[in-house]
Structure 1
């Protein structure tokens, strides 16, 4: 599957979605810290669970060499502005299930980048034979993300009450969502 799609111009910008490459590692390390610091929607605060350039290079290589892992980046204005990862479980009982995560710089919210990354991940997963379910978690206050996920067939599977604490000292719920590929399409494989 070839992945390099140019997206139509929006009022804000043009962008492309492509596979992550080793040359992206340093920029991804900086991007992750920046995005984590821009919003409470991410699981981490800026600088937590830091992945350095070498760590990203290793992750990209592992993802590129696996049929059940995917690492995509969004590029706009000659720089990376977002990314998405999807990784299936290594245990046989859970090999059909993949975890998904996506993030986009705040300046590029509303440009369709998150939707394009999600669509690309779903196309990749649906084209393969292994992944039947994609799951994710999202803070309950991120209503726009929840609407987006529902639009693409994700359903709420549960809520973890008072699961996280934000900078304001308050507790917030985490929503667990999943999308199971149509059983009929699986039976035909």
Structure 2
């Protein structure tokens, strides 16, 4: 699905949140690899599960056409600095919900890009009568967990010792969900 773009001005940074376009595909491919290498908060290490330009073009096309998918990008200084996706499930028993995921360049943390991407996604979900949003977050990502709770998400479960990080230790994945307004 496509949404209208919105402009933000936070801590001296001007950025736009808008729907992903085909012309973003090449930049998204590189951006995803870079972000994966900047943090262990995500599932992938740098270069894992690589998505090339053509695959991103296909993903953007599908997400633009499907009513239960939303692919957003954050753009600052004429370059992409983050993105988020909501992906719906088309099995009837799961058609009421979408899964949310987000990636932001570390250099742009602190400008409320994540919060605004999530708010746009929540507004989209509410206006499209999607009953539930879900997400997974690493237990050590306390800022993200706090943000999700402030925006109405609650902890639904814990996947114990779900990920192994570079320190050789195992960490839990927190499963969170938000039942959207009108429930």
TM range (shorter): over 0.9
TM superposition score normalised by structure 1: 0.94
Whole-angstrom CA distance in 1 between matches of 2:3 and 2:24: 18
2:71 aligns with 71
Shift of 1:168: 1.1
2:9 aligns with 8
Contact between 2:69 and 2:88, CA under 8 Å: does it hold in 1? Answer: yes
The alignment status of 1:146 with 2:145, answered yes or no, reads yes
Shift of 1:8: 1.7
Spell out structure 1 runs of 4+ moving beyond 4 A: none
1:86 aligns with 86
Whole-angstrom CA distance in 2 between matches of 1:122 and 1:140: 22
Shift of 1:90: 1.3
Aligned pairs, how many?
182
Shift of 1:74: 0.0
1:39 aligns with 39
Any stretches of 5+ residues in structure 1 without a counterpart? Answer: none
Superposed CA deviations along residues 60-95 of structure 1, whole A, max 9, x for unmatched, are 000000110000000001100000000111110000
RMSD: 1.0
TM superposition score normalised by structure 2: 0.97
Shift of 1:2: 3.9
2:122 aligns with 122
Shift of 1:9: 3.7
1:43-58 equivalence runs, <5 A: 43-58=43-58
Whole-angstrom CA distance in 2 between matches of 1:6 and 1:64: 20
2:26 aligns with 26
